[in-house]
Structure 1
């Protein structure tokens, strides 16, 4: 330990933290000793932000450790907070110590300082405050595998004492976890304390790996239903809480995870823990949607507030499209919530009902239209054009702007030729520059040329908004057949700097007419930016009809990423499936794990499902 009197012996100006020079660290450390609690709190907050910033430590971090250890002893009002700061400063993955970079790393220096200071911090394991004892256990755990051998015995002896005598079961459970870091199995899963049984079961399943033994799963289901109220304040290594570690373990074995989720939901879904676990499994593993939706349906009555209920309904709406025929009970439940008076829950319930293709949803949408609901209804009920298009027109005429206006215009796409009914509203969008880009695209697709439309498109093709310029130029060609203005527009767009792949992606309607642009496009096949290479290959195939130059570029880009899915889609359009790609396609098609994450709140299609479908389509090709 080092007292504040020694702070000037460190060349802080020569050290750095997250925001540059560490010259401010001494004053922050001195502030820890102030009687003013607000000042001390602010100092701890600042230290968390500079010598430890988003999981990173710096050259000033290790020199601060002995001073922080001294403050632990002499600033008792902030003991727990300071201990946790020391623990997170030393946080590292156990395998990191084998790295050739470890000896010279900042985190290695922090750990070395903490190992030296640890004997003088062990008194905190007997502190009267449970928060201090829990924090002290995290400090020991942070450097357990790095302690010199001669320190093991006294440290383990104190840990044994905590496990045997501490009056708080959660602290005893923490001691079990720390003892395991020293190779000691201290507790059995059939002990008298549920907190300890849970900790022992978690350690056991981590050792065994999936599939987990049924008796351990049973312990977790029984003893883990209610969260530790102080868990968030005391993360373990990796800054993960016990709750996060438990969810990760259960997600690795989906059968065990769903079993536990069902038990937790049946026990009241406290803190929505069972629901969250089920949702995590659906986001990690393929083809678990039916089981997860059954669990979420059972969990709906257990949600404690409208926000939690709305979250569950959002997830149901995201997953329900995976089902060919959603269950009648699920649809009936969604209908009841959708017809309710609480808009926070009625909105997501109705959206889920629309995505379930339930006919009752259409009437509800027509009575309570929003841009999101109308877009979903158009996608799932394209046969209802005569009912939906007038409502979409009305919303546009009422002045919908921004993302709402864009969603309304895009909602017209599933209706094909019937979308011509909205021609007046689309013209207004183009004139007022509200959702103008998507309006220009829709006008081009509808194919009805009027003098006003042509004039507006010519004007938009000169816009300072380059994306609008591209969309208007293409639409002008679609309506007039005159390609020269479009060619001039794209010559300028493709010869300039910026996101050229956006403009390349607009070229498909031009087809062979865009051939004069090939000298601009072909060099982009070797562009540094992967989206540009993908869009160039895609455009090259649209224009020439030949896959020869496009396929090698697309094959190189294929992968479980957004650009990889787009490349796969473009490859499918070529009809070419190189033999060397088939093993990759099989891994995409048959992986039990999701290869691309889906977000229930994204409002987008499921990219992992698109990846799998495209892979299967290409594998079926000759």
Structure 2
């Protein structure tokens, strides 16, 4: 094995972490009889040679040797090597990607193309692996064929031939998934594959196979889905529970053991495997979750169908199915707008379940969706009432945070969170999200002002004060508790240099929120404004204006900041100038010049400020409309200005953009990968602002 490996000049190549002279040892390790050695070698291949999907010259040089390993039945865990080859050869660049490549990326693109050609050239090996004695190999070979083989009709025929004789249920599902992949990638077999999948979804097949067929059909031929897709899937889930009953209480013990293994594993691959084992522990059909995720993703904007399906899943007697449903509910709500009251109520019911994973997932989702969690308010209050020992959570980095159920209750503005927050303030440590919770409660949290002030007075002014003082000041700012001005000034004056920028900003925001009640700080704010650099001067000017209302004192500093080179400084200054309104007319020429700035956000902030300063919206709308179209994340800011000024009635065309936003079922900030914990709240705020702007615009028009 590995004939010619020593003839490759590995030292002349590089991978993600330097010279590739260690690659021969990694390849040898993949063939080791020692499972620890194999795991470390595979970890090295993904961590360095194929780092985050990259293809280097050494990756290309590995391909022939990886094929040798796959073809040798004496090598253990060859399925993981099949997966590695599929990943190396399966990256495709479409025409749009190729057009956007810069010079530094051209070499990488060429490597991807060469890797695809090299792996595809050897893909015939995977044909023989469909019937391999190793289950892991049979599990990975179908997708490798569908991704890499040059003859799609032949591959589909092989998959269909293998299905009736394949003894393993999960491998049968892999064969069905591969058929769906073929249909998506190759029009020549799309109709044939869809017809086969439709037949597999019929009554005479096992429920898992039928569910897999429906999931793939939803991906590649959604028009062929049965009209009764929701009750049909619900029936299949019930059939799965009948034929594969969950193992009950063993789940948690097995999950905890696997989690401990993940923490102890020296390799990322080992940690991922242990985490997967923890997730699947005690589940009789762990693959069902992937099938349902595929189905939900393929149903896309069919929100009503997906809500009905989730409602059924959330009523399942199987803890695992309900846990999956909670997570999938988050995936749905983050991307699509819709009526979620029933789903949210059912998610709330999971807070009373004994499985901590289920309770935690439900609480985190309810905290994330904020006001949308209102249908679960009573179950949240009940949960908070019985979790006094876990109202605050300690993290590995030393920070603390509020229990997600408590945070969710506060986000709704329910006063039942108030006594619990009062108790939290009596304990050591200040949760980083305390300020957010107090702000969400609004005036109902006013009784906490004294305790917040007392805690702030006790915070030691040292670098570690960063985490304690800021949440307390944020909370006091939201309450406009100007009686706490002495405590805030203590922080402003005594803030350590290591914590200065962050804590000083927090203190200035708090004094600004106090407004005229902080007049005693005017002299200090003026001095700070004149001696600080650009960002600090802008923050001090913002606070000074809020406290004194003296436009003449702050406008020269702000206009000077508008000429700075740093985009963030310009944006901050424009934001404050906009608050000054028409009394800042002297800043108009500079704001107009910024409408042509290279930075989109500078253009947007300048346009919004100019609208406030000039009292006219029509001259800025072309800039804002272009930004509205180019970057959806500007929309909340723009809609806020439209709602406050009534500018939608100014004949600018803004009303059309607002109505188009309200007609969209997809959230404006939905991402294909990843999400932010404030995304849902931001989108719900946008919808509210759009409605308000249109309503006020109609009234003024």
TM-score by length of 2: 0.74
Shift of 1:251: 4.9
Show structure 1 runs of 5+ residues with no match.
Answer: 234-239
Taking a change above 3 Å as real, the CA distance of residues 314 and 507 of structure 1, as seen in their structure-2 partners, is same
Q: Which residue of 2 aligns with 1:614?
A: 689
**Contact 1:251/1:280 (CA < 8 Å) preserved in 2?**
no
Shift of 1:542: 3.3
Taking a change above 3 Å as real, the CA distance of residues 39 and 415 of structure 1, as seen in their structure-2 partners, is closer
Bigger Cα displacement from structure 2, 206-215 vs 283-292: 206-215
For 1:278 and 1:290, the matched residues in 2 are separated by 12
Alignment of 1:239-318 (within 5 A): 242=291, 244-265=293-314, 266-270=316-320, 272-302=323-353, 304-305=355-356, 307-318=357-368
For 2:678 and 2:486, the matched residues in 1 are separated by 28
Report Cα offsets for 1:135-173 as digits up to 9, x if no partner: 2222112224x3276xx2xx5565345322222111122
Shift of 1:77: 1.6
Shift of 1:312: 1.0
For 2:610 and 2:304, the matched residues in 1 are separated by 47
**Contact 2:159/2:179 (CA < 8 Å) preserved in 1?**
yes
Q: Which residue of 1 aligns with 2:443?
A: 382
Q: Which residue of 2 aligns with 1:331?
A: 377
Shift of 1:481: 6.1
- Pick the aligned partner of 2:390 from 326, 343, 352: 343
- Pick the aligned partner of 1:217 from 216, 222, 233: 233
Aligned: 1:565 with 2:633: no
Bigger Cα displacement from structure 2, 509-518 vs 579-588: 509-518
SS at match of 2:539: helix
For 2:580 and 2:592, the matched residues in 1 are separated by 17
Taking a change above 3 Å as real, the CA distance of residues 25 and 486 of structure 1, as seen in their structure-2 partners, is same
**Contact 1:541/1:547 (CA < 8 Å) preserved in 2?**
yes
Alignment of 1:11-26 (within 5 A): 25-26=23-24
- Pick the aligned partner of 1:70 from 60, 68, 71: 68
Q: Which residue of 1 aligns with 2:484?
A: 422
Bigger Cα displacement from structure 2, 312-321 vs 508-517: 508-517
Taking a change above 3 Å as real, the CA distance of residues 287 and 255 of structure 1, as seen in their structure-2 partners, is closer
Aligned: 1:166 with 2:176: no
Shift of 1:219: 4.9
Report Cα offsets for 1:205-229 as digits up to 9, x if no partner: 3344278532543355436778999
User: How many aligned residue pairs are there?
Assistant: 600
User: What RMSD over aligned residues (CA atoms) do the two structures have, in Å?
Assistant: 4.0
Aligned: 1:472 with 2:545: no
Shift of 1:84: 0.8
**Contact 1:17/1:60 (CA < 8 Å) preserved in 2?**
yes
Taking a change above 3 Å as real, the CA distance of residues 120 and 501 of structure 1, as seen in their structure-2 partners, is same
**Contact 1:282/1:292 (CA < 8 Å) preserved in 2?**
no
For 2:156 and 2:509, the matched residues in 1 are separated by 70
Aligned: 1:117 with 2:125: no
Shift of 1:70: 0.7
Q: Which residue of 2 aligns with 1:147?
A: 151
SS at match of 2:332: helix
Shift of 1:527: 0.9
Q: Which residue of 1 aligns with 2:208?
A: 195
Report Cα offsets for 1:109-142 as digits up to 9, x if no partner: 3333333323334333233331121022221122
Taking a change above 3 Å as real, the CA distance of residues 457 and 553 of structure 1, as seen in their structure-2 partners, is same
- Pick the aligned partner of 1:395 from 436, 439, 455: 455
Report Cα offsets for 1:13-52 as digits up to 9, x if no partner: 7877556776654554344344555444333223223443
**Contact 1:69/1:121 (CA < 8 Å) preserved in 2?**
no
